[in-house]
Structure 1
Amino acid sequence: MELRHLATFTAVAEEGSFTRAADRLRVVQSAVSAAVRNLERDLGVALFDRTTHRVELTDAGRLLLPEARRTLAAAAGAREVVDQLRGGLRGTVRLGMMQAQRASTVSVARLLAEFRAEHPGVDIELRVGASAAHAADLRSGRLDLAYLALPAGSAAGLALVPMDAQSMPLACPADHRLAGRTDVELAELADETFVDTPPEWGNRIATDRAFAAAEVRRTVRYEVGDLGSVVDFVRYRLAVAIVPRTAIGAGSDLRLIRIRHHAPVFRTSIAAPAERRLGAAARALLATALRQAAPTDPSPDEPSRADPVP
């Protein structure tokens, strides 16, 4: 049994696809298929049920997966020890960042610049995406660390270190009926037309949870893929929005109105898998991130259940 066969099996299991596993491993698909066949021959069992439309683990495959992960982690740990003896930290860290990085205390570019100066032998694979997608990739092993904006209740299986928290106000044009108000209740917004980001984004998750807690239904007529476009839709009077204050540029003529009770909070955290030990390179990157941004305490209305990062 070869480590590369176990690594290929794990990639197929986590991706649910031979094609995606080949892309992840940067090899041709025939090499992935051959590695899995060789492993199945060595073990004398089928590891995957293959159909035209999907690839699923067999019972044997489900039993093997956690052992394969442990074996690969042990092998990676042995390589790390040898690399450090040779004079430097090496490896690859897969880091997720949000499509709109809005925390004032977080700069991924600054993080990578400082980390590269300290550890030039470590490669960083940066993946941009939505918070919910990053959470799924952390759980499955496709990411090592990720910046995301999720409430603690939506982060099962993850260890969160809070980095920033911002209450999100209502944004509306200067001539909107609520523009003269200093604050507003969510119930007063039930008849408004909203623009928002897709449901997988952290700010959308926080806003949807706030409306659900207030037992208020709202109408999201427009879904757009970046906060800049959300603000433009508000500016051109197509809708109102609830966004982090940092999404509104300086000198904007939009009005920001505080929300009373159940105010959505945009919480930026750095996250790691709670049940998988990080490699040395990922631990070093996490340590650099924590030095750059002091964690902030969550607001009293939603206590966090963050687990310690492994």
Structure 2
Amino acid sequence: MELRQLEYFVAVAEESHFTRAAKRMHVAQSGLSSAIRSLERELGASLFIRSTRQVELTPAGRALLVEARRALSATDAARDAVAAVQGLIRGNLAVGSLQCVHVVNVPHVLARFHAAHPGVEIQLRQGGSRHLIDQVKAGRLDIALVARPLRPTDDVLIRSLASEPLVLACGLEHPLAGRTQVSLADLSREPFVDFQPDWGSRDLVDSVIGDRRIAFEVNDVHSLLDLVTFGLGVALVPQSFSVKTDKAQFIGLAEPVPAWETVVVTSESPSAAATALLDTVAAARSGRC
């Protein structure tokens, strides 16, 4: 089994099409198809269900995809390690991030990293915490800035950046707006605005007050706060959201509840570029950049 075969296989799996995969890999389709057939013969299993319009992974193909991505990621890490010994950091760095990471100015950190390591091509993807962690596991992301997962997570390293309390967000005219504290019992009949289920804050709030009516489900912070501002629902959010608007009231909770924690996630053997970005994040947190 050759690395080139695995690269071709991953390209076909992600494109769901041999022609598009061949264009992506800058090879003739016949050569790519031949490499895939050779891989299937070597493994003794069909990897794709072929049709005239697209291809789909077989169960064997789905199993191989996870390991192929890990193998290719490990190969990239090996190349990076050699480059690092030679005093060079180059290659690609795929970064995942929540939309709002209060404890780190992500654009600033990426700009500082790029200035220090211009040979590294940076990619940034935003998404929910669970999805981004899965992308790190699969080798599609090198590093992710997310909320700490509630359940133990294998095959990744998790480093804490900061934690902050959850607070209630409500409209300025809401009956609870004049309180200095609210209890969870006060919220039993309130309609909620919340994020989609793969967001880390949604998981945390579900663990705090799971029996509630979610009237509005959104996928960005500003939509959530706008809906709260117009009195369409309340939300439990990290305290740092309070700096984003003065058109909502933010109130502390009477009961002790788990804190919102921002973490950085990498593979168990992060690449040289990922390690360098971790150093840049640490420098930004300490005020050194």
Q: TM-score, normalised by structure 1?
A: 0.77
1:56 match: 58
Where does residue 26 of structure 1 map in the other structure? 24
Indicate how the Cα distance of structure 1 residues 218 and 168 shifts in structure 2: closer, same or farther if over 3 A, else same. Answer: same
**In the alignment, which residue of structure 2 is the partner of 1:159?**
157
- Give yes or no for the alignment of 1:289 onto 2:286: no
Q: How far off its partner does 1:6 sit?
A: 2.3
- Unaligned runs of at least 5 residues, structure 1: 295-310
Q: TM-score, normalised by structure 2?
A: 0.82
Tell me what 1:303 maps to.
Answer: none
Could you tell me whether the CA contact under 8 Å between 2:69 and 2:139 is conserved in 1?
no
Superposed CA deviations along residues 233-263 of structure 1, whole A, max 9, x for unmatched, are 1111111111223323466142211112253
Kindly report which structure 2 residues correspond to 1:113-152, keeping only aligned pairs within 5 A, or say none.
113-152=111-150
Distance 1:171 1:141, change over 3 A: same
C-alpha displacement of 1:18: 3.3
Deviations 1:197-245 (A, max 9, x none): 1111121111111114xxxx11010112211111111111111111223
Distance 1:238 1:67 in 2: 47
Contact conserved, 1:172 with 1:235, CA < 8 A, in 2? yes
Larger displacement relative to structure 2 (124-133 or 32-41): 32-41
Moved >6 Å (runs of 4+): none
| 8 Å contact kept, 2:192–2:216 | yes
**1:111-260, aligned counterparts within 5 Å?**
111-153=109-151, 155-212=153-210, 217-249=211-243, 252-260=246-254
**CA drift at 1:38:** 3.1
Which amino acid is the alignment partner of residue 119 of structure 1?
H
2: CA distance, partners of 1:126 / 1:261: 37
The 3 A distance-change label for structure 1 pair 287 and 175 is same
Q: 1:261 to 1:56 in 2, by over 3 A?
A: farther
Looking at structure 2, the residues matched to 220 and 125 of structure 1 have their Cα atoms a distance apart, in angstroms, of 34
CA contact (8 A) 1:169 1:243 kept: yes
Partner Cα distance (2:197, 2:152) in 1 = 13
What secondary structure is seen at the aligned counterpart in 2 of 1:113?
Answer: helix
Change beyond 3 A, Cα 1:35–1:166: farther
CA distance in 2, matches of 1:88, 1:123: 13
Over the aligned positions, Cα root-mean-square deviation in angstroms equals 3.4
- Equivalent residues of 2:8, 2:32 under 8 A apart: yes
Amino acid corresponding to residue 171 of structure 2 in structure 1 = P
CA contact (8 A) 1:195 1:221 kept: yes
1:88 is paired with a residue whose SS is coil
SS in 2 for 1:170: strand
Deviation at 1:265, TM superposition (A): 2.7
SS across alignment from 1:267: strand
Mapped pair 1:280 → 2:272: yes
The correspondence of residues 100-115 of structure 1 with structure 2, limited to 5 A, is 101-103=100-102, 105-115=103-113
Give the Å deviation of 1:158: 2.8
Q: State the number of aligned residues.
A: 281
Preserved contact between residue 3 and residue 72 of structure 1 (Cα < 8 Å): no
